[in-house]
Amino acid sequence: MRSILLVAFLGVFIPAAAQTTGPDINRYLGLINGGRADDVRRELPSLLSQYPNNPGVLYLQGLVTPEGAEAVRVYQSIVDNFPRSEWADDALYKVYQYYYALGLYRTAELKLDQLKKDYPTSKHLSGTPAVTEGQPAEQTHADTAAPQVTRTVKPAEPIQPGQQFTLQVGAYTTQVNAEKQKLFFEDLGYAVEVGSKLKDNRSLYIVLVGTFSSMEEARAKAEEFKQKYNIPSLVVTK
């Protein structure tokens, strides 16, 4: 009887132990970065079936989910259920990006505060500006795809091969102030766009500076703007 119970006990835990090993998440990330997100998307149902509680697999799910709200739900589940996993700070940062892009600055601020508190060594904190909803919307900023900026942009989507980036340097309640910011950067020799989006039934005028071929290039330029001109800016996709 004791041996039967022991076999039963081991039978319960052996599969769980096998799951802790999990798939090679970095390999799948490499496929996504190499333009093969569709391949990962096709494999995802099998991965989720085999590793339903693996935070790395859930992170992959968020990356290849095209609908922003659903992707954020997945990222938040990683933060809530696997806060000590290596993917938790990345997931929380993407949640912050999503809410900031929607103009939900108070919610974004809470997520950023959580990132600072729970993951103080996260690489995402380097150069991340504070969220200040009270800035007379005359100097608000977003980090990730800004929604409805004259052209249609979807927030929190996975980066696709060949995707270009720009810097959002401000969101203004008046077009006059947006044009002043535009002129400032044009005088420095940058290509600048002014677009608009709706927030709380009013228009915000978004100022976008430059075109960059990689996230890293855009972040480097954002740091330069911060150091040289004391202007925080955040990366958005084009």
CA distance 97 to 64: 16
CATH of 2-125, one of 3.30.465.10, 2.60.90.10, 1.25.40.10, 3.40.50.300: 1.25.40.10
**Same-fold call for 2-125 versus 165-237:** no
Mean pLDDT, to the nearest integer, of 46-67? 90
Q: Long-range contacts: 104-110, Cβ < 8 Å, 24+?
A: 105/131, 105/132, 105/133, 105/140, 106/133, 109/133
- pLDDT, tens digit (0-9, with 9 covering 90-100), for 134-157: 333 334 333 333 333 333 333 434
pLDDT at 55 exceeding the cut of 80: yes
**Helix residue spans in the chain (DSSP H):** 2-21, 25-33, 37-50, 55-64, 68-81, 88-101, 105-118, 175-187, 215-229
Q: Nearest Cα to 149, choosing from 131, 176, 167?
A: 167
Any idea where the domains of the chain sit in the sequence? 2-125, 165-237
Write out the two tokens for 154: 């979807």
Four-way CATH pick for 165-237: 3.30.300.30, 3.30.70.1070, 2.40.30.170, 1.10.3720.10: 3.30.70.1070
% of the chain at pLDDT higher than 70: 72
- Asked if 128 contacts 112 with a C-beta cutoff of 8 angstroms, the reply is yes
Q: Could you tell me the pTM of the whole model?
A: 0.52
Bridge partners of residue 165, in order along the sequence? 212, 237
